[in-house]
Amino acid sequence: MVVVMSTDADEAQIDAVVDRVNAAGGEAFVSRGVSRTIIGLVGDVEQFQSLNLRALPGVTEVLRVSVPYKLVSRQNHPRMSTVYVGGVPIGPDSFTLIAGPCAVETAEQTLAAAQMAKAAGAVLLRGGAFKPRTSPYAFQGLGRAGLEILAEVRAETGLPVVTEVVDAHDVELVASYADMLQVGTRNMANFALLQAVGEAGRPVLLKRGMSATVEEWLMAAEYVAQRGNLDIVLCERGIRTFETATRNTLDISAIPIAHGLSHLPVVVDPSHAGGRRDLVVPLSKAAIAAGADGIIVDVHPTPETALCDGPQALVNDDLRALAQAVRLLPPLLGRVPHLEDQPRSPKAGTAPAADPAAAPGSVPADATGAVGATAAGAGAPQLIPQ
């Protein structure tokens, strides 16, 4: 059962609901979103119905939710949510391009990748300081030094940072640098980590486990929401199947299915799904057509020397093709592009303040200027997907 509080409900009214539920032998979990607060109830539903919670001040409605993921369910929250990351929206009316290096290797490499990403239209910077790898001998990331590099690049480019946290003990550290915390595919079922990021006060990008069902994915999101954080973005990154032609099999059907079951935004990672540079743009187009709220891709200035996932990192012509796709296709589906000089929303889900100074991109002019002219007319400001 879920109690939906009004937008102007105060702490005393929220506490009154929690106290009444606790007195009846139940448990109440408070989750605060951008615009409203939701209280998830665990216990005897029949007993809760006798408490007359709907009559309490500040309560908008009381819902009996049949699915196990109550807080992230569309039954509880019919309207799709928008999550703000450093003021950048991810949600149903926009399209968000997240790009950057899979791993932070050096300050120079990370800045160059960020400039490439921004020139292609990215409004959020991805970059891994901690890298969970299949092999213990593979590059594991720079750790704190990588986080410091990401903070410096954010100050240089103005791009909010999305980075992965792999251990519950590191959540406080990573959250002090990041605008959004990423939980990777290998940690989707790390319940201690999910609970920790739920308490960290940062938006969360939750990747689907490589062998997880959609319901298991949503249940993982419920762990985050139960700890008070509804600023969650789901990420479909491919699942493991018998097919060996690709690194993973991108489950395009998961996008409309997740949208139908949950109010959370869904983005797609075509880089880790395909594992090959030549597949990233076609898979990105498919994700846009299927209704994804954004994509997250790998970019590297010299992929042949990359310490992690170089074969899937975009450069040159592929990056130009991606820039064109994310400018031209989302408007056909009713998603409104965001002008580069338009102020970002100051809503919740923001993190350490970033210097708005922007560094020049390294993508040739025809990747931005020509495409921008096609989309908005000659001389118009460059269109950047939201």
pLDDT tens digits for 215-239?
999 999 999 999 999 999 999 999 9
Per-residue confidence (pLDDT) for residue 354, from 0 to 100: 38
Look up residue 26 and give its two tokens.
């139940």
Per-residue confidence (pLDDT) for residue 316, from 0 to 100: 84
Find the range with the poorest average confidence among 63-67, 72-76, 146-150, 300-304: 63-67
Superfamily, domain 83-374 = Aldolase class I (3.20.20.70)
Q: Where are the domains of the chain?
A: 2-63, 83-374
Per-residue confidence (pLDDT) for residue 141, from 0 to 100: 81
Q: What is the residue-averaged pLDDT of the chain?
A: 86
Per-residue confidence (pLDDT) for residue 386, from 0 to 100: 35
Look up residue 255 and give its two tokens.
């996008």
* Candidate CATH numbers 3.30.70.1140, 1.10.357.10, 3.90.650.10, 1.20.120.1200; the one for domain 2-63: 3.30.70.1140
> Is pLDDT larger for residue 77 or for residue 210?
210
Please name which of 102, 190, 182 lies closest in space to residue 146, comparing C-alpha atoms.
102
Please name which of 160, 133, 128, 88 lies closest in space to residue 300, comparing C-alpha atoms.
128
Identify whether the C-beta of residue 32 lies closer than 8 Å to the C-beta of residue 50: no
Per-residue confidence (pLDDT) for residue 63, from 0 to 100: 87
pLDDT tens digits for 308-366?
889 999 998 899 999 999 999 999 998 865 534 445 655 544 444 433 333 333 443 33
The DSSP 8-state label assigned to residue 336 in this structure reads P
pLDDT tens digits for 159-196?
999 999 999 999 999 999 999 999 999 999 999 999 99
Per-residue confidence (pLDDT) for residue 352, from 0 to 100: 43
How much is the pTM? 0.80
Residues sharing a CB contact under 8 Å with residue 366, sequence separation 6 or more, in sequence order: 320
| 320: three-class secondary structure by DSSP | helix
